[in-house]
Structure 1
Amino acid sequence: MTALVSLANHFLIAMPTLADTNFARSVTLICEHSDKGAMGIVVNRMTDLRLGEIFEQLSIDPAKASNTESVVYLGGPVQNNRGFVLHEPLGNWESTLTVTDNLGVSTSRDVLEAIAHNRGPDKYMVALGYAGWGAGQLEREISENSWLSGPASREIIFNLPVEHRWKAAARLMGVNLSTLSGEAGHA
């Protein structure tokens, strides 16, 4: 049996034929991947919510915040009433999952309070929910050609307009999604 290669800090790019409405045309940053399963944040699905509304729901005073109109993302279908902050640098927050030496996902209130008072991470995106896969599920879906996977790009996550992220993530691997067929090839 071969050892599992972790896909943490990789993008999962939905193939054009992926019909699941939660993930069609999505780009997911894999934050954690082990033989027990995987967890990621979808980085190209926006909600109608704004960050100011999240601050208000959590009774966080955004008096100094210049970012109350920032979009809140739909990070995935699991626990979509729970907030996740994908950010860099890592910082020293109460609850952070380290993705890389500089990138993390925090779920604690302190990071949101810091963002509301302009003391938060340099780059961040706030998402509700996450994407999760059980043991072996992600590997099976990749082998079924539901996903492309390749190294993640902070530029795509934090700087590229959301509507360009899906194709740009595939281009990182030299793939033009508009030319792909839904047929899987087997030798």
Structure 2
Amino acid sequence: MEPTRKRPRKSRAKSSAGDTGNYLDGQLLIAMPVMEDERFARSVIYVCAHSSEGAMGIIVNRPAGSIDFPELLVQLDIIEKSDSIKLPESAESMKVLKGGPVETGRGFVLHSSDFFIKDATLPIDDGVCLTATVDILRAIANGGGPKHAILALGYAGWAPGQLEDEIQGNGWLHCAADEDLIFGGDVEEKYLRALQKIGIAPGMLSAEAGHA
């Protein structure tokens, strides 16, 4: 899978490629065990945009190592180091994830729809939005951000028709998203929970492609 930097416009039209039906923005992609690309093995991806121009999504189950949110706020000069102990609980517990291999130096906040910045926030589906400006980080640091949020460094991208081809080629399952799988804790367990959501145990998966 070669990521693309082009982020498509949101569309709800029918897919013309393959039998995947509607475009998958607002749904979850679940990597099949046969996924050969190590960057996406056992990943769960929330699809933020999908159209005839390609697709863009955020991996929601891969922690960003030793990076924590308060430290990131200091690095971005949003707060002083001495102020990190004054952060609200929502900021202290904010998850920082590896969102994908494209633009890994840029932050993308996937969040609940109770927070919105005009001309900056993209509504996606079922009360989930995406904002990629530093203003939302300031709001979270001040206790005025969304109720639920994760910060992803980078994103996953697909060229036109590429995601459809990968689904047909047994790369991904897909299913409806839910709040717990997007924003919940136990990040490392999300892959198994996503499979359980669609009634599949890892041992049941074969080399045949499919979708829920």
1:144 alignment partner in structure 2 = 169
Q: Secondary structure at the match of 2:58?
A: strand
Amino acid at match of 2:115: G
Correspondent of 2:147 among 122, 125, 149:
122
| Change over 3 Å in CA distance of 1:173–1:91 after alignment to 2 | same
Q: Secondary structure at the match of 1:121?
A: coil
Q: State whether residues 90 and 103 of structure 1, in contact with CA within 8 Å, keep that contact through their aligned partners in structure 2.
A: no
Larger % of strand: which? 1
- Where structure 1 has 5 or more consecutive residues not aligned to the other structure, the ranges are none
* 1:61 pairs with 2:79: yes
Q: Secondary structure at the match of 1:46?
A: coil
Write the mapping of 1:63-142 to structure 2, written as runs, cut at 5 A: 63=83, 64-66=86-88, 67-68=91-92, 70-94=94-118, 95-100=120-125, 102-142=127-167
2:68 alignment partner in structure 1 = 50
Q: Give the deviation of 1:90 after TM superposition.
A: 4.5
Partner Cα distance (1:153, 1:178) in 2: 24
Partner Cα distance (2:160, 2:76) in 1: 34
Amino acid at match of 2:145: G
Q: State whether residues 90 and 98 of structure 1, in contact with CA within 8 Å, keep that contact through their aligned partners in structure 2.
A: no
Correspondent of 2:43 among 23, 26, 35:
26
1:39 alignment partner in structure 2 = 56
Amino acid at match of 2:174: S
Q: State whether residues 87 and 123 of structure 1, in contact with CA within 8 Å, keep that contact through their aligned partners in structure 2.
A: yes
Amino acid at match of 1:173: I
Identity of aligned residues (%): 40
CA RMSD of aligned residues (A): 1.7
- Where structure 2 has 5 or more consecutive residues not aligned to the other structure, the ranges are 1-12, 16-21
TM-score calculated relative to the size of structure 1: 0.91
Correspondent of 2:14 among 3, 27, 50:
3
Q: Deviations over 1:51-105 (max 9, x none)?
A: 0121112100163413345331000000010000010025222511211252101
Q: Deviations over 1:122-169 (max 9, x none)?
A: 000011000100100000000000100111111111224112111111
Q: Secondary structure at the match of 2:61?
A: coil
Partner Cα distance (1:69, 1:89) in 2: 19
TM-score calculated relative to the size of structure 2: 0.81
Q: State whether residues 15 and 177 of structure 1, in contact with CA within 8 Å, keep that contact through their aligned partners in structure 2.
A: no
Q: Give the deviation of 1:109 after TM superposition.
A: 1.0
Partner Cα distance (1:73, 1:145) in 2: 25
